Structure 1
Amino acid sequence: MEIVIALSSLIAGVAAGWFINSTIAKKRLLKRGSAIIRQAEQEAEAIKKEKILQAKEKFLELKDQHEKAVSQREKKIQETELKTREKEARVNAQLEEVNRKEKELARKLEQIERQTEALERKNQEVEKLRQQQIHQLQVISGLTAEEAKAQLIETLKDEAKSQAAVYIQNTLEEAKMTAAQEARKVVIKTIQRIGTEVAIENAVSVFNIDNEEVKGRIIGREGRNIRALEAATGVEIIVDDTPDAIILSCFDPIRREIARLSLHRLVTDGRIHPARIEEVVAKVTKQIEDEIAEIGKRTVIDLGIHGLHPELVKIVGRMKYRSSYGQNLLQHSREVAYLSAVMAAELGLNPKIAKRAGLLHDIGKVPMEETDLPHALLGMQWAEKYGEKPDVCNAIGAHHDEIEMTSIYSPIIQVCDAISGARPGARRQVMESYLQRLKDLENLAMSYEGVTKAYAIQAGRELRVMVESEKISDARSQELSFELSQRIQNEMTYPGQVKVTVIRETRAVNIAR
């Protein structure tokens, strides 16, 4: 742009010079124009070179960028080709595996087809043999298979119907005639033939002394003697103001008896000190163990039971010092043994097995050590351990329904156990609970409308209810008796059974004057 301006100025000057017609000025202008032209050419050349250099730099920069882009594209193409080749290799491997499995399946299918054909051939051969045998049987019997089958079925049907009808008729008639009578007879005879004394054991024993000085000697200096005696026997010894008596408290009757006998020996001997106490307790313990074994032996001899394991004999002897609901366990077991033998004999069973099971049914109540098992299952385990027969073991384990009854003797033992425990006077009841039960029975009856009076009689085994005839009809009396029996059964706990009698009477009263 500057060059153009300079040239314009020059041309203007030249034109002016021509007009001025001045030679000097023309020459000067020409020189100046030449200088300007040279300068312009130099500047143009410099600008040209600069632009060429810039163009080359831009070209090189664009070339580098293009080469980098091409290199990146080639790298991506190579990675893509590598992944494609890997996928192709995996696909080829899977295809080969599929082809191999197809061949293997085809081979197995072929084997199965061959086996199936062989099995079909064998079935055909078996069927052919069966048809031959049927044909031979038909030739021998002169009947076809269907005719023989129909004839056999008809014969069996007629015979079965005849036998079933006779059996059912005889059974029903016999049951109707003798079931109730025989059941009453068995129970009544069993109860009548058995009568035993019942001993009530307490958790406390009383040791009587002659004078109060003995208490001080038993206590000893600083209580050494009584502490030694309690440690040796495991019994709590209560020395209080009770005159001429020392209380021995323990839930284990055997320990209580050992403590009582030991005290008796110590007081009789007069030498009471810790060493002597330990010696006497050891001797008395040995004496009690021998006595237990002797009691067991006498019991099994009295009952006529033979072959009982010595350990079971000892357990039977230990039952003398145990009680259940206030009922001596040995006496209870003897009762059950007698009852079971009588009932088994009445039913035509072996009374010896029943007597054996009856004696042993509660041996689980005298464990040598603490256990979580119910006494019936523990007794069954001991019986199995010491070689008792399965019938006896099942009767022991099932008499409280812990296991299923599989022996005919099991229900007999269960029933006889209930008879021995439920008879009046067999088991002790606390007076308060007994009176409360009678009161609950009467209150239950009085809660109904129309009831005037209610009496619990026969030790709570019968409830007599007096009702108003105007409010309670005869039909309602029947319903009231049933409702009361159901409520007593569902809401109250009682031994045996309770008879509910509802009395409704109509009175006509007149006075003759």
Structure 2
Amino acid sequence: MEFIYIVITAVVSLVAGIAIGRYILLKIFGRREEEMKQKASMIIQEAETKAEAIRKEKELAAKEKYLELKNEFEQDLNKKKTLLQTNENKLKQKEAELKKLAEQIKKRETELEVLEKQLQEQNEIAQKKREEAEKLRLSQVKQLEKIAEMTAEEAKAQLIESLKAEAQTQASSYIKEIVEEAKATAAKKAKKLVIEAIQRNGTEYTIENCVSVFHIESDEVKGKIIGREGRNIRALEAATGVEIIVDDTPEAIIISGFDPVRREIARLALHKLVADGRIHPARIEEIVAKVQKQIEEEIVEIGERTVIDLGIHGMHPELVKLVGRMRFRSSYGQNLLQHSKEVANLCAILASELGLNVKLAKRAGLLHDIGKVVPDEKELPHAILGMEIAKKYKEHPEVCNAIGAHHDEIEMTTLIAPIVQACDAISGSRPGARREMMEAYIKRLKELETLALSFEGVQKCYAIQAGRELRVIVDAENVTDEKANMLSFEIAQKIEKEMQYPGQIKVTVIREMRAVNFAK
């Protein structure tokens, strides 16, 4: 029983403790819930206060932006209104001016109509007067025919016959005056241009020969170059294509050949062989091959440097290479590259003075003798060959025509062609620029004298001053003074058409009357 009582008491105490704990817990949580509610309400109030402040700030910013945009729009609108007003005023002014012009045009039209009527009336009056004058002339002609007892055609023929001799005499004097006047203007201007071009382009020239001299330190080297039984010198001549002369000339070996490129290859090869000391056929072939490659590179470099110096662009590499080969070629003793460069500069100067294309003129001047350095020469004049090569490498048609026509092999179709021809003559005829063979010089003098003797009335003629002047002596009885003037002009024209010569030739006709008697 006691045990049961104890158990029941314990159970009752436990239940009472649980109830008390639950009551205490409810009290505690109730208080916290109220505190949380209070905090939440305070946070909500703060948030609402901040949101209201932000809303007011945004509203103020939006109002400011609106006012700013409104002001900008109003300013822009005012500017446009001002511009429209200005344009409207200008249009009104132009409209007023156009109205004034229209009124003036109407007045002019009225005046022109009046003038046209007056002109018609005057033309009618003039036509009537012409008809009356023609009738009067015809009547006078009939009266004159009756008086002279010949028709008008017969009188005209007689008058023509009487004036024919006088007209021929006066014609020769007129021709002389016209020629002198043309020379005084055109020749003066041409001389001025040519002199300015020559003065602005001064170039030094070197004279190339068919022989090069290779200097050696001692005559012992000659034996090495000749080799055993002459095998070294034969190998060198076969590899270079030149003739090597080893004679008694002290400390010198002569290299002979018409091709200056081959002579230069032989000279450089000899220099390398002598410096190396090993001279035998295999070594000679090796050195010559290296020197040939070196010369080819030097030729290309010379061509590139030349076109760069002249300011020429876009030229085909093969043409550049041919330009470089000009350095090792001479024409009448004048270095071909220096001659072509001078012609190019002269062409550029004359083209600029005449208002033509300077670049094309300079290009044509540089390439005009390109046909002289073609490795595989054909049976063609160098001008035609150069023109074909220029066409092959797509040069300008004006440049091709100037190259082909600079010696009159083809017809000149552009203005650059005569400029190239003139500049070529200037460069070639400059004193000291070229050497002429004696045979060619004498042949030209004989051709001059023969040409002058072919004219009627010429007794003797002499080419003097190195072919720069032709003295013609005529028969004084058969050739009058007027005919002498005509004869000088005709001989000069024939020389220009049929002969090629540097510079100019002065033609002097001498008519001398001598009266001879003998006292016995």
Shorter-chain TM-score tier: 0.5 to 0.7
Q: In the alignment, is residue 231 of structure 1 matched against residue 226 of structure 2?
A: no
Structure 2 contact 272–287 (Cα < 8 Å) conserved? yes
Q: CA–CA distance in 2 between the matches of 1:250 and 1:276?
A: 22
Q: CA–CA distance in 1 between the matches of 2:489 and 2:301?
A: 53
User: 1:413 Cα deviation (Å)?
Assistant: 1.4
The correspondence for 1:324, drawn from 328, 331, 352, is 331
Structure 1 contact 206–247 (Cα < 8 Å) conserved? yes
What letter corresponds to residue 207 of structure 1 in structure 2?
F
Q: CA–CA distance in 2 between the matches of 1:413 and 1:439?
A: 28
Q: CA–CA distance in 2 between the matches of 1:490 and 1:411?
A: 15
The correspondence for 2:304, drawn from 297, 302, 308, is 297
Structure 1 partner of 2:103: none
User: 1:495 Cα deviation (Å)?
Assistant: 3.4
User: 1:209 Cα deviation (Å)?
Assistant: 2.5
Q: In the alignment, is residue 307 of structure 1 matched against residue 324 of structure 2?
A: no
User: 1:454 Cα deviation (Å)?
Assistant: 6.4
What letter corresponds to residue 464 of structure 2 in structure 1?
A
Cα offsets for 1:305-359 (capped at 9, x unmatched): 1121222111111110111222211111101101111111011112111101111
Structure 1 contact 450–472 (Cα < 8 Å) conserved? no
Q: CA–CA distance in 2 between the matches of 1:212 and 1:433?
A: 41
Structure 1 partner of 2:40: none
User: 1:369 Cα deviation (Å)?
Assistant: 1.5
Structure 2 contact 425–502 (Cα < 8 Å) conserved? no
Q: Which moved more, 1:360-369 or 1:434-443?
A: 434-443
Q: Which moved more, 1:273-282 or 1:481-490?
A: 481-490
Structure 1 contact 395–407 (Cα < 8 Å) conserved? yes
Structure 1 partner of 2:265: 258
User: 1:279 Cα deviation (Å)?
Assistant: 1.4
User: 1:461 Cα deviation (Å)?
Assistant: 1.3
Structure 1 partner of 2:364: 357
Cα offsets for 1:465-494 (capped at 9, x unmatched): 899999999679768867986897899875
Structure 1 partner of 2:224: 217
Q: CA–CA distance in 1 between the matches of 2:410 and 2:511?
A: 47
What letter corresponds to residue 288 of structure 1 in structure 2?
I
The correspondence for 1:366, drawn from 354, 363, 373, is 373
Structure 1 contact 450–471 (Cα < 8 Å) conserved? no
Matches within 5 A, 1:310-459: 310-431=317-438, 434=441, 456-457=464-465, 459=466
Cα offsets for 1:136-164 (capped at 9, x unmatched): xxxxxxxxxxxxxxxxxxxxxxxxxxxxx
Q: CA–CA distance in 2 between the matches of 1:494 and 1:215?
A: 47
Q: CA–CA distance in 1 between the matches of 2:314 and 2:497?
A: 46
Helix, strand or coil at the partner of 1:284: helix
Change (3 A) 1:429 1:505: same
Matches within 5 A, 1:21-40: none
Cα offsets for 1:230-267 (capped at 9, x unmatched): 11111111222333322212111101110011112212
Structure 1 contact 209–246 (Cα < 8 Å) conserved? yes
Structure 2 partner of 1:96: none
What letter corresponds to residue 205 of structure 1 in structure 2?
S
Cα offsets for 1:6-50 (capped at 9, x unmatched): xxxxxxxxxxxxxxxxxxxxxxxxxxxxxxxxxxxxxxxxxxxxx
What letter corresponds to residue 437 of structure 2 in structure 1?
V
Structure 2 contact 383–403 (Cα < 8 Å) conserved? yes
| Aligned residue pairs, count | 331
Structure 1 contact 205–247 (Cα < 8 Å) conserved? yes
Q: CA–CA distance in 1 between the matches of 2:380 and 2:437?
A: 28
Structure 2 partner of 1:128: none
- Highest CA radius of gyration, 1 or 2? 1
Cα offsets for 1:350-384 (capped at 9, x unmatched): 21111011111111111122322332232223222
Q: CA–CA distance in 2 between the matches of 1:357 and 1:490?
A: 24
What letter corresponds to residue 266 of structure 1 in structure 2?
L
Cα offsets for 1:179-202 (capped at 9, x unmatched): 454333322322222221222211
Which sections of structure 1, spanning at least 5 residues, go unmatched?
1-174, 507-513
Q: Which moved more, 1:351-360 or 1:440-449?
A: 440-449
What letter corresponds to residue 403 of structure 1 in structure 2?
I
Change (3 A) 1:379 1:207: same
Q: CA–CA distance in 2 between the matches of 1:391 and 1:499?
A: 33
Helix, strand or coil at the partner of 1:496: coil
Q: CA–CA distance in 2 between the matches of 1:406 and 1:472?
A: 41
Q: CA–CA distance in 2 between the matches of 1:302 and 1:403?
A: 30
Structure 2 partner of 1:71: none
What letter corresponds to residue 372 of structure 2 in structure 1?
K
> Normalised by the size of structure 1, how large is the TM-score?
0.56
Change (3 A) 1:480 1:216: farther
Cα offsets for 1:45-89 (capped at 9, x unmatched): xxxxxxxxxxxxxxxxxxxxxxxxxxxxxxxxxxxxxxxxxxxxx
Q: CA RMSD in A?
A: 3.7
Q: CA–CA distance in 2 between the matches of 1:404 and 1:493?
A: 16
Q: Which moved more, 1:275-284 or 1:417-426?
A: 417-426
Change (3 A) 1:418 1:491: closer
Structure 1 partner of 2:190: 183
Change (3 A) 1:197 1:229: same
State, as a whole percentage, how many aligned pairs show the same letter: 71
Cα offsets for 1:267-292 (capped at 9, x unmatched): 22222111111111111111111111
What letter corresponds to residue 238 of structure 2 in structure 1?
A
What letter corresponds to residue 354 of structure 1 in structure 2?
A
Structure 2 contact 406–418 (Cα < 8 Å) conserved? yes
Change (3 A) 1:356 1:236: same
What letter corresponds to residue 266 of structure 2 in structure 1?
A
Change (3 A) 1:419 1:449: closer
User: 1:408 Cα deviation (Å)?
Assistant: 2.5
What letter corresponds to residue 506 of structure 2 in structure 1?
K
What letter corresponds to residue 505 of structure 2 in structure 1?
V
The correspondence for 1:271, drawn from 253, 278, 302, is 278
> Normalised by the size of structure 2, how large is the TM-score?
0.55
Structure 2 contact 452–458 (Cα < 8 Å) conserved? no
Structure 2 contact 206–335 (Cα < 8 Å) conserved? yes
Structure 1 contact 441–456 (Cα < 8 Å) conserved? no
Structure 2 contact 407–421 (Cα < 8 Å) conserved? yes
User: 1:441 Cα deviation (Å)?
Assistant: 7.5
Change (3 A) 1:378 1:444: closer
